[in-house]
């Protein structure tokens, strides 16, 4: 601390990401996208999905009238479908991304090409599975 007395240090601080003036010392890649998507999907499910799941269970336990009120919000301009499709994608994104983390926990999958391939495949697979589930629901309801 003694060398810092008076004026602030101009040494790089961790994480040293910016060169100033909006310039970044890194280039965006799929591994960064899948990393931040993991956090957004997880925290989205935690803060939106779980209150909804608990509200759903509570409304069933509180009686038919309470459940009807829950469903009235579900049917409000397809709101329920929009939220459920979003949560379905968030779940599979977080699941596949989490499985990728398990592989990396074992020390595998860090080779540049392998890492990039799985980083691209994770959100791609999540979109595919979400589409398959909701298209099958849509066709059943036709």
Partner 1 sequence: MGSGTNIGRVRGLGSAQEGAHHWIVQRVTAIANMLLVLWLIFSLLRLPNYEHGLMIDWLSSPLVAVPMILMLVSIFWHLRLGLQVLIEDYVTDHGMKFALFTLLNFFAVGGAALGIFSVAKIAFTGVAA
Q: Which residues bind partner 1 (CB under 8 A)?
A: 1, 39, 42-43, 45-47, 50-51, 53-54, 57-58, 60-64, 67-68, 71, 88, 91, 95, 98, 102, 105, 133, 136-137
Torsion sign across C-alpha atoms 117, 120, 125, 128 = negative
Work out how close the CB of 110 gets to partner 1 at its nearest, in angstroms, rounded to a whole number: 18
CB of 97 within 8 A of CB of 37? Answer: yes
Q: How far is 12 from 63, CA to CA, in rounded Å?
A: 60
Nearer to partner 1, 68 or 79 (CB): 68
Nearer to partner 1, 32 or 50 (CB): 50
Please report how close the Cβ of residue 15 comes to partner 1 at its closest, in angstroms. Answer: 11
Report the nearest approach of partner 1 to the CB of residue 39 (Å): 7
Q: Which residues contact 124 (CB under 8 A, 6 or more apart)?
A: none
The least distance separating partner 1 from the CB of residue 119, rounded to whole angstroms, comes to 19
CB proximity list for 69: less than 8 A, separation 6 or greater: 59
CB nearer partner 1, residue 21 or residue 139: 139
Of 84 and 116, which CB lies nearer to partner 1 in the complex structure? 84
Residue 141 DSSP code:
T
Beta bridge partners of 18: 24
């Amino acid at each position: 601390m003694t060398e810092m007395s008076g004026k602030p240090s101009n040494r790089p601080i961790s994480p040293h990401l910016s060169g100033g003036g909006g310039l970044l010392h890194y280039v965006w890649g799929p591994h960064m996208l899948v990393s931040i998507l993991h956090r957004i999907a997880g925290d989205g499910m935690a803060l939106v999905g779980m209150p909804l799941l608990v509200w759903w269970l509570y409304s069933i336990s509180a009686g038919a009238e309470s459940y009807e009120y829950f469903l009235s919000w579900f049917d409000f301009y397809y709101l329920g479908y929009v939220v459920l499709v979003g949560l379905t994608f968030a779940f599979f994104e977080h699941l596949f991304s989490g499985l990728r983390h398990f592989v990396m926990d074992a020390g595998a999958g860090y080779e540049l090409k392998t890492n990039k391939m799985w980083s691209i495949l994770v959100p791609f697979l999540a979109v595919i599975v979400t589409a398959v589930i909701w298209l099958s629901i849509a066709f059943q309801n036709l």
